[in-house]
Structure 1
Amino acid sequence: MKKSSVKGWCPGAYQPMVSGDGLIVRIRPKFAEFSSVQIKEICRLSQKYGSGIIEFTSRANLQLRGINQSDHERLLHILNQLDLLDPDLASEARRNVIITPDWFQGDLSKQITRELYLRLSELPDLPAKFGLAVDLGAIPRLQNVSADIRVEKDSKSTLLICPDGSDFGRPTTKSNLVDCIIDIARWFEATRSPSAKRMRDHLANQALPKAWSLTPRNTQNAPLRIGKIPQGQIVGIPFGQCHYKDLLHLLSLSQAKSIRLTPWRSIVLLDAKTIGADDRFITAPTDPLLRINACPGRPMCQSATVETRQLARLLAGKTTGTLHISGCSKGCAHPKAADITLVGQSGAFNLIQGGQSGDTPQKTGLTGPHILETLDSL
């Protein structure tokens, strides 16, 4: 199967990405949080300058779709007024930090993340998708979230800096934690080959310094589920995409004072009224849509040859495992293996069992009812 070209970078606010429906402008909220005023204004911007479609990414960021090139500068000006812009493109690129979304005011996660923000300029120039994860709850939550340097605690609550791809980390203290992050980032940049753009890839061929292989990591992982948590209610966004009117409806109904973005394409409604069942959002942890990843597909994506989201809703609940529907072989929505992967090619779908979108398919050229028949026969 012909492999589509994967971009080596993600869009930002300063450097948007061209797609089939216009520019994609990504906004990176500090500490993964938007105030009620900020998110309502973002909805207004989506209506005025974009297509009305808002996306929530696996990096806990938000994207506006369909922005006209002629409106980009004006949009940046308003985002800056809302305190949603970094000083420049280089600063924005460095602030690729995910924080576990159930942090509390004043806790260690927020303290460390704040210090990281202040010292990002000390990092070397790193590959575009290189990122950090601050995961300092009692149990790690971000183990399956893409990151290259992880801030965690071991089973005895010792602070660790963990290079992704290693089962070990370096013990540290709060006072020198960020120094250790800068050290391992500089080691990565100084020793990697040009093709090794992620820490995991680099460690496949390069041993870590001894000091970084002393303490075993905590192997537990407990991603936050849809439902109530002490900070509020987690509500899922089907496929990570919604219309600004639906988001405004959710904000009005919940009266949330602010929202936090998660890396699982959901949001935390903070200090809010509990929301019941709503077919525009996911409010039950057993919803079959949670087992499906589907990219925007055609016509939003220039690489896609098929529509994806309508098929995803049709197939919800008709498979027992995970399902990934990709408009092309890039697999942007889920760059990992799934139980079933359907990949668009020349207007039809290829089927891959237990693999990723770029793997060799077991069945090809599936369309319409043949997809359901094939899934039923597996």
Structure 2
Amino acid sequence: MTAPARIRGWCPSLFRPMESGDGWLARIRPERGRLPSALLRKVADAALRHGNGILEITNRGNLQVRGLRPESIAPFTTTMEEAGAAVGEGSRILISPLLGADPSLAPDLLALADEIDRALPESLSAKFGVLLDGGGALPLSGIVLDLVIRWTGADWAVNGKAVARDAIATHIRERATGLARVSERAGHPPKLGRHAGFLLLAPAFGQMRAEALLTLADLAETHGDGALRPTPWKSIALAGVAWDQAPTVLQAAEKRGFITDRNDGRLSLITCAGAPACARGEIATHDAASALAASRRAGDGLLHLSGCVKGCAHPGAAPVTLVGRAGQIDLVRHGKAADTPAFRGLSLAEIPATMQSLPA
């Protein structure tokens, strides 16, 4: 195992965990978007034995294990390797979550993903990401990475330009480091709940306990196709659930703390781990977000709550961004976490009235 790194500006992985406020964190990349229930049980057990039992869905559809200790990193990594969790480690591709479960996806999607992985230069930054959107029932609309490959329904586009299917790998091999990043409008996350062929639910603010993950693994095995599929919207898809079984599955997931109601106020908030989980966090973001969510609905304008000025959970601008600063909160209008606040030093109790006073 490579030694744990303390370098900023890179992505942690299974083999290179990163230090955070509650210990070290490691990420498990699904193999082509899919995490089998048998693997998830081993991940949940390892998170309890070697970490603090908290897991997260990242905005690249990875599963993140928190709270590892220096002495538990090596046994955790070994356990995960033996369980088969390292299979997806070498890929940079964020692929359609319903691969293998949605017949309406672009043809030959799995083979194309393999070709793209082989075509990418090894010299690319560890943060370099590829989006491979095969359309279908759960398209990756509104998600943008360094390299964006989308099925348009009749052909393929690479960073917005049409490219023949057989020429995509060569196109990438020759131009990957020089392609202009595509500019797209932000899309809306797909609605939670029951869909034809799959269910979509979300851990509150992207975070769950290992025991809750075990419940989902059981539900996927007994009612679905035996796997969970993390999405870049920090939600989880369960494929293969019969239409008449969906209410039973959603109710069981809701009892474990997952959001299944598309109108839940927590869905209008984006937040990071915050204090004490993150060493940079200056407020307890999850406690604050839960309090604020009580008076909000999913359709309200996006509210970004950041534990510090880094704004990791939402690097872009938001209508309102709340930023933790020494236990208090700064409010930024139509900007990023690092932008100049319109209000400084607010308490959590002052936030609702302050937001109501803002001009439309």
Q: TM-score, normalised by structure 2?
A: 0.85
Distance 1:347 1:115, change over 3 A: same
- Distance, in Å, in 1 between the alignment partners of 2:19 and 2:303 is 27
Are the aligned partners of 1:100 and 1:141 in contact in 2 as well (CA < 8 Å)? yes
Match among 82, 94, 101 for residue 97 of structure 2:
101
Looking at structure 2, the residues matched to 142 and 178 of structure 1 have their Cα atoms a distance apart, in angstroms, of 20
Q: Does 1:181 align with 2:167?
A: no
The answer for the alignment partner of 1:191 in structure 2 is none
Alpha-carbon displacement from aligned partner over 1:3-47 (angstroms, at most 9, x marks no partner): xxx931111111111011111001111111111100111100111
Match of 1:339 among 309, 314, 319: 319
Matches of 2:139 and 2:319, distance apart in 1: 22
The 1:341–1:221 alpha-carbon spacing in structure 2 relative to 1, beyond 3 Å, is: closer
Superposed counterparts of 1:271-290, under 5 Å:
271-272=240-241, 273-274=245-246, 275-277=249-251, 278=254, 280-290=257-267
Q: 1:144 to 1:35 in 2, by over 3 A?
A: same
Tell me the amino acid that sits aligned with residue 99 of structure 1.
I
Partner of 1:110: 110
Question: Structure 1 stretch 265-274 or stretch 16-25: which is displaced more?
Answer: 265-274
The one of 127, 136, 144 equivalent to 2:134 is 136
- 1:140: Cα distance to partner? 8.5
Corresponding residue for residue 361 of structure 1: 341
> Within 1, Cα distance between the matches of 2:135 and 2:210?
32
Aligned-pair CA distance for 1:268? 1.0
CA displacement 1:52-106 (0-9 Å, x = unmatched):
00010000000100011212222222212222215xxxx94x5221012133358
Select 1:157's aligned residue among 140, 150, 154. 154
Q: Could you give the per-residue CA deviations for residues 209-233 of structure 1, whole angstroms, max 9, x where no partner exists? A: xxxxxxxx9x895743212234421
CA distance in 2, matches of 1:337, 1:57: 19
1:291 offset after TM fit, Å?
1.1
Count of residue correspondences? 334
SS of equivalent to 1:69: coil
Map of 2:3 onto structure 1: none
- 2:252 matched to 1:252? no
Q: Deviations over 1:231-280 (max 9, x none)?
A: 42111111110001122223334534111110011111133442234261
Identity percentage of aligned residues: 31
Is residue 13 of structure 1 aligned with residue 11 of structure 2? Answer: no
Q: Distance in 2 between matches of 1:79 and 1:267?
A: 21
Match of 1:80, SS state, is helix
CA contact (8 A) 2:143 2:187 kept: no
Q: What is aligned with 1:44? A: 45
Q: Which string of whole-angstrom CA distances, capped at 9 and with x for unpartnered residues, describes residues 97-131 of structure 1?
A: 101213335843223123334x15x5141123111
Mapped to 1, the partners of 2:204 and 2:313 lie a distance apart of: 12
Distance 2:293 2:186 in 1: 29
CA contact (8 A) 1:54 1:64 kept: yes
1:263 aligns with one of 232, 252, 255: 232
Q: State yes or no: 1:169 paired with 2:170.
A: no
List alignment gaps of at least 5 residues for structure 2: 1-6
* Displacement of 1:317: 5.1
Q: CA RMSD in A?
A: 2.5
TM-score (norm 1): 0.81
Matched residue type, 1:350: D
